[in-house]
């Protein structure tokens, strides 16, 4: 069951948990042969919903240069395609291919299952409080990459 622990600084606890979650996700999704960053990008994409690269930068928390490399790898694996953004021809949109839709569906399924297990193990309202903490972390770290 849920145990409230305050012996570690919040940032250190979050960083350790993030590493464990990422390792768990890579293990659960090992059949896809994707890196943590590639899984993160696929988690931010939906079928038939192209996203601007800038939107993906914000959604994934990755630096633009890092995301470019991730998208290059996903494109080589034929999971995504980039196209010139019709709304702003200086930028690109990213969309899932048919194979990418299958991979993204598997990623979303694993994310949803983990979310369900975690939410079933914490008190009601804990997720809302956690999101408040994440929002505060965003505000206090924005622009410091």
* Of the candidates 66, 65, 17, the residue with the CA atom closest to the CA atom of residue 40: 66
List the chain pLDDT tens, one digit each, 145 residues.
555 556 778 888 899 999 999 999 999 999 999 999 999 999 999 999 999 999 999 999 999 999 999 999 999 999 999 998 887 778 899 999 999 999 999 999 999 999 999 999 999 899 999 999 999 988 998 865 4
Find tokens 């928390």 and name the residue.
61
Handedness of CA 51, 56, 59, 60 (dihedral sign): positive
CATH fold, domain 10-141, is: Arc Repressor Mutant, subunit A (1.10.10)
Token pair of 78 as six digits: 């034929």
Which pLDDT score is estimated for 117? 96
Task: Give the per-residue pLDDT at 85.
Answer: 81
What pLDDT sits at residue 10? Answer: 87
Q: Where are the domains of the chain?
A: 10-141
């Amino acid at each position: 069951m849920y145990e409230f622990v305050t012996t570690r600084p919040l940032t250190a606890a979050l960083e350790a948990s993030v590493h464990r979650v990422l390792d768990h996700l890579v293990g659960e999704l090992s059949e896809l042969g994707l890196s943590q960053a590639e899984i993160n990008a696929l988690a931010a994409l939906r079928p038939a919903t192209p996203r601007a690269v800038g939107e993906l930068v914000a959604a994934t928390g990755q630096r633009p240069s890092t995301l470019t490399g991730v998208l290059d790898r996903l494109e080589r694996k034929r999971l995504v395609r980039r196209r010139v953004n019709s709304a702003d021809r200086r930028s690109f949109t990213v969309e899932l291919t048919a194979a990418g839709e299958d991979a993204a569906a598997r990623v979303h399924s694993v994310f949803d299952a983990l979310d369900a297990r975690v939410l079933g193990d914490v008190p009601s309202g804990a997720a809302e409080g956690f999101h408040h903490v994440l929002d505060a972390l965003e505000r206090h770290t924005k622009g410091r990459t």
